[in-house]
């Protein structure tokens, strides 16, 4: 990557930046980073504008649902991070079920602008999310990256991150489940 990234919390004054980054499609298929926050039927009903409005209301409420990466003042990347309890669909997942009763923060989503992929933006965002979670009082942070494969994963399916960046950031597999061996990766912060 040629330029240094500036990584900031998503706050109401940066709403225009996330709209610019996500574009008219709301990142992927009208998601607006609401996939983990709703039931599947609710998500399908709300794709697009309703999800955009719901995401805006989260930000307007004062919650900082993640971080935006900027390159030369332009938004180029996003990571969604927060207490696991804020993601009800994650709570219902069998494969990504809680490992134990420990309160954790979760990294659930990345979105990198097309021209900035494979340039270290995801890694920088993950490192910033670790620091952000620590400053907010988290003791443990976890993520749910895709397992390594021989073939390249299409960008549209890499939104939970890939194992190598979690490994490089010091995360370790807490448990693997399911046919694909998907892992819950954790990092102790304190």
Each residue of 174-185: pLDDT tens digit?
999 988 888 999
Say how many domains are in the chain.
Answer: 1
- Does the pLDDT at position 34 exceed 50? yes
Residue ranges making up the domain that contains 82: 5-188
The pTM assigned to this predicted structure is 0.92
Q: Nearest to residue 90, comparing CAs of 155, 22, 27, 33? A: 33
pLDDT at 181: 85
- Does the pLDDT at position 151 exceed 90? no
Burial of 148 (0-12, 13-18, 19+ CB in 10 A): exposed
Q: Nearest to residue 148, comparing CAs of 134, 133, 138, 158? A: 158
pLDDT at 1: 47
Whole-Å CA distances, 126 to 39, 81, 123, 171, 176: 26, 9, 5, 10, 21
Each residue of 107-144: pLDDT tens digit?
999 999 998 998 999 999 999 999 999 999 999 999 99
Each residue of 71-96: pLDDT tens digit?
999 999 999 999 999 999 998 999 99
Contact 165, 110 (CB under 8 A): no
Q: Residue 134: give its domain's CATH number.
A: 3.40.630.30
* CB atoms near residue 84 (< 10 Å): 21
């Amino acid at each position: 990557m040629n330029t240094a990234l500036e990584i900031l919390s998503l706050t109401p004054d940066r709403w225009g930046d996330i709209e610019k980054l996500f574009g008219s499609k709301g990142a992927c298929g009208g998601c607006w980073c609401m996939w983990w926050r709703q039931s599947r039927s609710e998500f399908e009903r709300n794709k697009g504008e309703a999800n955009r409005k719901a995401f805006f209301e989260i930000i307007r409420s004062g919650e900082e649902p993640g971080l935006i990466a900027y390159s030369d003042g332009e938004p180029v990347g996003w990571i969604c991070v927060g207490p696991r309890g804020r993601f009800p669909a994650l709570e219902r997942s069998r494969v990504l079920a809680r490992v134990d009763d420990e309160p954790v923060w979760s990294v659930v989503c990345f979105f990198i602008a097309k021209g900035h992929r494979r340039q270290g933006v995801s890694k920088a965002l993950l490192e910033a999310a670790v620091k952000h979670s620590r400053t907010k009082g988290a003791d443990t942070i976890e993520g749910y990256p895709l397992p390594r494969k021989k073939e390249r994963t299409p960008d549209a399916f890499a939104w939970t991150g890939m194992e190598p960046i979690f490994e490089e950031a010091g995360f370790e597999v807490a448990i693997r489940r399911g046919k694909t061996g998907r892992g819950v990766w954790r990092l102790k912060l304190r």
